[in-house]
A and B are shown apart, each in its own frame.
Chain A
Amino acid sequence: MFDNVFFIPVFDKFILHAPLHGVTALVNEKAAQELAGGRTFAKGSPLYEINKELSVPAAAPPVREGPPEAFFLGLVTTRNCNLSCAYCGFGASAAPKSAMTLDQAVAAVDWMVENSLQAGKRELNIHFFGGEPFLAWDLVEVVVHKARWEAAKHGLVPHFETSTNGILPEKRARFVGDYFDVVVLSLDGFREYHDRNRAMTADRGSFEWVCETARIWSEMPAKLCLRTCVTADSVSHLEDIGRWYCEAFKPDTVNFDTLQTWPESMAAGLFPPDPYEFASHFVKARKAIRAYGVETVYAADYTPEPRHSFCPVGKDTIIVTPNGRLNNCYLLEKDWQVRGLDLNLGAINNNQELEINRDAVNRLRKHVTLKPSCESCFCKWSCAGGCHVNHSYPNAVLDADFCIQSRVITACSLLEELGELEMAESLAAGRPAMEALSTRINYCEQIPVC
């Protein structure tokens, strides 16, 4: 048997997926049995080359070592928000109005410049999170200009990304469109879904304003990603939503991810979609959106580059909170503490210096490599266990729905990569085939003889 070689059943065939070897192939059952059984093949046999490649031990992505090299600098400028989203688990509408101080923000930028230079990076990579990050507008101005100036002095390329609800005045929206590289704008589909999910007040939705902002950004240099939180109500409309996005705006990317259940979302009567239904509609929507030359993203989807973590955790990412804490994750501390996690890396001290705990950095670098529940899953090097707080936290029983939809979507992505578009569509169209694929416990074991 090989290490990290997975056999994914699709109808009467198997996707042979060896992410660490960079090998993916569609094989019949006999070939799968022979490969999995460790048979040797005669030179010239179609399976000889595959077997030869799989016989060479492949290394997992290296665990980071040495001084911290931040994946990016994240700034949670404020936890405050100007929307009252029905499903918000950040407690944003009740969050303190306070923002990170300008001194803290400047200290963080200075640290990131130094860190990027020491790591020999080309880019100065800064991401904004909230709450709604643009409520702390002065801070955004200072960070953007400070970082661009420092980048110019040191030969770095500034790169800014932000997540936002799009509720900001036109002048500021134009600044963002000019100065940011990627803008992830939350838009939950058609008005009926968006306004139900993302209200400004009890009797006023945010749909019109968000659409106007999306139109502004459609014409500006920043790359626009429309991020949609998919619920049980909206899931069956993903194809139409995707087409409408591409016709009404000019997105570079459309992101569909499912609702994370919080007490707030349940109280609002909002529920995540059935995972098979989500996977099915996601794959169909991706096809519809591709026709416009636009990419569709699901966070836990297949990536050609194997990874230990699909998020900032474990990558030395420094995320500064409004009170000057340095965390490895932008979620609320109480949410990871409840899972038995410590994602804190340090704090900004009274002298405005970033104090980073190297032991904590090393602990989290290792933490992301330890996911025993994912050991025999073919998604382990792409989905990588999903969110460390909500999916693969210590002693977690993996979220069945998350695993199901991630496996189906990953399998369809692999088929599409192999040019098997019709098979991917057929897979996503039929629940029995999706169930056969996604509910298997072990994708490494010997293939049973049918």
Chain B
Amino acid sequence: MLNHSRQNRNASYSCHPKVRWVVEIDGVLLIHHELEKKKKLGYPEAAVWDLATQGFAYARMVDLITRIASVGFREAENIVNGCLESLAEQGFLQKTE
């Protein structure tokens, strides 16, 4: 995970241009119009999605997740890395180094 966090520190993520989302009471529903698939994000993933698409830098995202999830830095890093990579793999986020 350390390697992943190093990779993500220098990366930025943006929403795939064909993805739209709907805020729901307990998370976010992502809709990928090109791949014709949907994905429901609960918390904390919904928070990571929002922070990433708002354009927050990686370090700030991790810092804010420590407060949102009431966890330490390492755990927050794990949450952020896991979520960013998973969403990028599934095509909802685009990664730029």
Show the binding face of A for B, using Cβ within 8 Å: 102-103, 105-106, 138, 141-142, 145-146, 148-149, 151-152, 157-158, 171-172, 175, 178-179, 221
Contacts and interface: CB of A to CB of B under 8 A. Distances in A.
B35 interface: no
Contacts of B55: 171
A359 B44 CA distance: 38
B27 A146 contact: no
B68 A149 contact: yes
A195 B16 CA distance: 39
B54 A142 contact: no
Contacts of A172: 54
A148 B26 contact: yes
B64 to A, nearest CB: 6
A145 B50 contact: yes
Pairs A-B, 8 closest by C-beta atoms: A149-B43, A145-B47, A152-B26, A178-B23, A145-B68, A142-B67, A146-B68, A102-B67
B96 interface: no
Given A106-B70, A138-B64, A145 B54 contact: no
A221 B27 CA distance: 15
B42 interface: yes
Contacts of A145: 43-44, 46-47, 50, 68
Contacts of B56: 141
Contact of A152 (B27, B50, B51): B27
Contacts of A102: 64, 67
Interface of B: 23, 25-27, 42-44, 46-47, 50-51, 54-56, 60, 64, 67-70
B40 to A, nearest CB: 12
A152 B67 contact: no
Given A148-B43, A149-B43, A149-B44, A141 B70 contact: no
Nearest to A220: B23
Given A145-B47, A149-B47, A158 B25 contact: yes
Nearest to B28: A178
A296 to B, nearest CB: 29
B25 A152 contact: yes
Contacts of A158: 25
Contact of B25 (A142, A146, A157): A157
Contacts of A171: 54-55
Nearest to A172: B54
Given A171-B55, A175-B54, A142 B68 contact: yes
A284 B26 CA distance: 42
Contacts of B70: 106
A148 B27 CA distance: 8
Given A138-B60, A146-B68, A148-B46, 7 more contacts: A106-B70, A141-B47, A142-B67, A145-B50, A145-B68, A152-B43, A158-B25
Contacts of B51: 141
